[in-house]
Amino acid sequence: MHKMKRVFSIICLLVLSMSAYSAMAQTDAPKTPFPYPTAPDTCSTLESRCNYIVTNFWNNYNIARPITNDADFETAFRDYVNIVKYCHRNIAISSVRDFIFKARSNSANLLKIGKVAESSLYGPYAEYWSDELYTEIAKALSESTNLKAADRNYYKHQVAVISKCPVNGIMPEFDIVLAEGKKSKLSEIEAQVYLVFFTDDNTNSIIDRTRLSTDVAVNNLIAGENIKVIQVKVGKHVAGWADNMPENWINVSSEQVANIIDLRGIPSCYILDKDRKILTKNVSVDDVKSAFN
């Protein structure tokens, strides 16, 4: 609730005009870790105001110096993200590149930037998913000679899987093992629409599996041959693992997907068209149920 109220306050500041009413509204403005820029009167639209603020957002924060207050930095970065989503794409990319360039010499800062960027732009609970912006940051970290090899490789892997699984791109091929133990590939399964449901043995997977398998709309689509649900158990095939799984699903396992598919968390769903083009990715069972209902 506190996060939502803060986001609302930030957005209100963006759209308020530079009037007496705006000045009065400043008394309810959220506390910021450092002075944020204020768009001038000449910025008459939400996008233009956001463009100005994003371009100048870090002017009063020296990212080249060590970050001494992690909480304040995280607050500022999340506020920045909540404004970035409303600005022009080119402005956002330029701002992120400039920010990373200024931070490039401080390895401790780079790691802190990577951590908060992952949670706010890429992770399963991110306020704003942006593969494009997060890739700018992750790529810079993956190429930084100031970071240890293990840290560079972490971000290099993320850049690789994001690039392989863009929305509107083709789902990468991967090896699967069918429930009965036969080896196959994803491409050997034909469907009009694929719902690829990535799971494991954890409680969340079990709960979401039950909720999805009992959904009337999903089952009607399966019965009408309009969709195939492919449950992919991430990990090594174990005999008998699918014995109690929904019989109208195609239940497979795969050790390969963790290395080539962009999975922000498990369980997670991809929806593909008949050509295996990615229509949406990393959506929850709730999102799937809402879409198909």
> Using CA atoms, how far apart are residues 263 and 102, in angstroms rounded to an integer?
30
- Distance, CA of 158 to chain centre: 11
Which DSSP state fits 229? E
- Work out the average pLDDT over 10-22: 50
Q: Is the pLDDT of residue 19 over 80?
A: no
- Helix, strand, coil percentages (3-state) for the chain, rounded to 5, are 50, 15, 35
CB-based contact 155:142 (threshold 8 Å): yes
Proportion of the chain above pLDDT 90, given as a percent: 86
Nearest residue to 138 (alpha-carbon basis) of 50, 86, 119: 119
> Using CA atoms, how far apart are residues 111 and 117, in angstroms rounded to an integer?
10
pLDDT at 95: 98
More confident call, 162 vs 127: 162
pLDDT at 291: 87
pLDDT at 21: 43
Burial class (CB within 10 angstroms; exposed 0-12, middle 13-18, buried 19+) of 84: buried
pLDDT digits (tens, 9 = 90+) for 250-279: 999 999 998 999 999 999 999 999 999 999
- Work out the average pLDDT over 50-60: 97
- Work out the average pLDDT over 128-138: 96
DSSP bridge pairs for 254: 234
Range of weakest confidence among 19-23, 41-45, 159-163, 187-191: 19-23
Burial class (CB within 10 angstroms; exposed 0-12, middle 13-18, buried 19+) of 55: middle
Task: Indicate if the alpha-carbon torsion angle 150, 152, 153, 159 is positive or negative.
Answer: positive
pLDDT at 34: 94
Q: How high is the mean pLDDT of the chain? A: 91
- Work out the average pLDDT over 202-220: 95
Q: Which structural domains are found in the chain, ordered by start? A: 2-164 (no CATH), 175-292 (3.40.30.10)
* 119-126 long-range contacts, CB within 8 A, separation 24+: 120/77, 120/78, 120/81, 121/81, 122/158, 122/264, 123/264, 123/265, 124/264, 124/265, 124/268, 124/282, 126/264
More confident call, 229 vs 26: 229
- Both tokens assigned to 167: 């929305």
pLDDT digits (tens, 9 = 90+) for 79-128: 999 999 999 999 999 999 999 999 999 999 999 999 999 999 999 889 89
Q: Is the pLDDT of residue 142 over 90?
A: yes
